[in-house]
Structure 1
Amino acid sequence: MDADIAELKKEVSLLRKELSRVSDEAEVRKVHFKYGYYLDKCLYNEVVDMYADHPDAYVEFLGSRYCGKLGIKRLYNGRFQNSFVKGRNGPVRGFLLDHIMMQDIVDVDQTGTHAWCRMRALMQAGTHKSVRDTHPRGHVQWWEGGLYENEYLKENGVWKLFRYRYFPFWHAEHETGWSLTRENYVPWPTKTYPEDPWGPDEIIDQKMLWPDTRVVPFHYPHPVTGKRINDDDLRAPNYGQETSEAEPPLSLALPEGQERKGGGKTWSNEGSVRVLPELVENP
């Protein structure tokens, strides 16, 4: 009887852990979807409030990094809010900025306080012809495809956005499609804050726009082999050319001074077993 009770307690404990993991994964997914809905309608105050207060929080976007809550606020309440809606918190008539979020893969670490998510975004954006003379972008419409490789942090029991890495992958105008998209469709930031009042804290070597087709690294190992993809396989040389001639692989590496602590899952690469860094940042 005692052995049976001990076994039941063990099973209950395992079920609780599994239920907690599944619940956390669902909550992280909801957090990002909610972020997307706020972003659609230029509710930038609400977007900024979703970010963790942890000093290591940041956003990587278009070859630049916005660090900490102040840097993140500068991106959303500065660059985006002033460019799209002239400082207003909320939409303006005739401006479309819909983000369709899909293909989400969420992984929560063993502590239940840190998570990763890879997700695809398909954006429909532009202006209605009726506002061509009043909106600074005139009359324009375009598509955008991009990938997120994000991290989330549970602060005081609440899941929040932590490290957001968004790679806009391709753009296409309706009239010409993606094959005729001009290169450097969105100009890269070249000045940092405070020289640029809405600029990033750092310029980083993570620039990728169509026709560049490098792979955004995966936060997870292969689900069957447990291996990581070789860096050279993440590069995109011209057809028939050597990989060594291509742009270097993209990276999910942390900024200098930040680290992930602890050990967790193991994965094998070329026959060896290595420790996959715990998906947790100890505040």
Structure 2
Amino acid sequence: MSDEVAELKKVVESLQKEVSRLADEGEITKLQYKYGYYLDKCLYKEVYELYSNSPDTFVEFVGGRYKGKAGVGRLYLDRFANAFVKGRNGPVHGFLLDHDQMQGIVDIDPSGKTAKARFRALMSAGTHKSVAETHPRGLVQWWEGGVYENEYIKEDGVWKIWKLRYFPFWHAAFDKGWSNKEIGELNPFGTTTFPTDPSGPDEIVEQVMLWPDTRVVPFHYTHPVTGEQVKDDDLRAPAWGEDVSTSLPALKLNY
């Protein structure tokens, strides 16, 4: 009987771990989705509060890394808020900025304290014709697609965003489409660091890519069947028929 009890205890412990893992995956997925909903409506204070207080927290965005909670604040509460909604917390009439979050792949660290996840983003944005003469951007509409490779941390029992890396893949005016996008049209968001630029990044990250650049953002996870990571050369994107050595280096996640 004692052997049966011991075996049942093992089963219960295993099930408890599996339930905890599944619950954590669900919480992180919801956290990322909520991030997207807040970002849609320029609720930058709410976005800021989703981030960890850890000194290792950062946001990596279009050529810059914003470090710590202070860096997170400079990006969302200062740079984004001033650029999109003239410093307020919340939307402005006639301005669209939807960030769909989808295709989440969440992996919990065995410790249960940290996690990694990959999400795809699709953004549709622009101004309504009724505000074209009053909004500083005039009449615009555009698409954007990209991928997040993020890390999360559990603080006091609550999952928070720890390290967010966003890689935009393509950016296109609605009427012209992505095939007609001029190369180099999207410049790094921050080319001067803080404090020279009061709302700039703490560090410049030389990993800006955009269509027609089709390099692969590295996967935080291994292949589910082979257990192998995708080789660096297979993450690169040479021209048709050219050797991979002629192409740009593989992207890195920069842990």
Given the two structures, how large is their TM-score scaled by the length of structure 2?
0.98
C-alpha separation in 2, matches of 1:173 and 1:10: 57
Please give the per-residue CA displacement for 1:219-250, whole angstroms capped at 9, x wherever unaligned: 00010000111101101111111111111110
- Tell me which residue corresponds to 1:182: 182
Residue identity matched to 1:31: L
- Tell me which residue corresponds to 1:106: 106
- Tell me which residue corresponds to 2:208: 207
C-alpha separation in 2, matches of 1:186 and 1:52: 29
C-alpha separation in 2, matches of 1:185 and 1:62: 13
- Tell me which residue corresponds to 1:37: 37
The answer to whether residue 80 in structure 2 is matched with residue 80 in structure 1 is yes
Please give the per-residue CA displacement for 1:4-39, whole angstroms capped at 9, x wherever unaligned: 111111100000000000000000000010111000
Structure 1 segments of 4 or more deviating over 3 A?
none
Residue identity matched to 2:227: G
Decide whether the 8 Å contact of 2:48 with 2:72 is kept in 1: yes
Please give the per-residue CA displacement for 1:112-146, whole angstroms capped at 9, x wherever unaligned: 11011101001010000111111111100001000
- Tell me which residue corresponds to 1:250: 251
Unpaired segments ≥5 residues, structure 2: none
- Tell me which residue corresponds to 1:66: 66
Residue identity matched to 1:109: D
What's the secondary structure of 1:183's corresponding residue? coil
- Matched residues, number: 254
Residue identity matched to 1:250: L
Q: CA RMSD in A?
A: 0.8
Given the two structures, how large is their TM-score scaled by the length of structure 1?
0.88
Deviation at 1:60, TM superposition (A): 0.5
- Tell me which residue corresponds to 1:167: 167
C-alpha separation in 1, matches of 2:183 and 2:60: 20
Deviation at 1:186, TM superposition (A): 2.4
Deviation at 1:205, TM superposition (A): 1.5
Unpaired segments ≥5 residues, structure 1: 255-283
C-alpha separation in 2, matches of 1:133 and 1:194: 34
What's the secondary structure of 2:176's corresponding residue? coil
Matches within 5 A, 1:143-162: 143-162=143-162
C-alpha separation in 1, matches of 2:3 and 2:84: 65
Deviation at 1:184, TM superposition (A): 2.5
What's the secondary structure of 2:10's corresponding residue? helix
C-alpha separation in 2, matches of 1:75 and 1:183: 25
Please give the per-residue CA displacement for 1:60-86, whole angstroms capped at 9, x wherever unaligned: 111110000011100001111000000
- Tell me which residue corresponds to 1:276: none
- Tell me which residue corresponds to 1:263: none
What's the secondary structure of 1:219's corresponding residue? coil
C-alpha separation in 2, matches of 1:110 and 1:152: 13
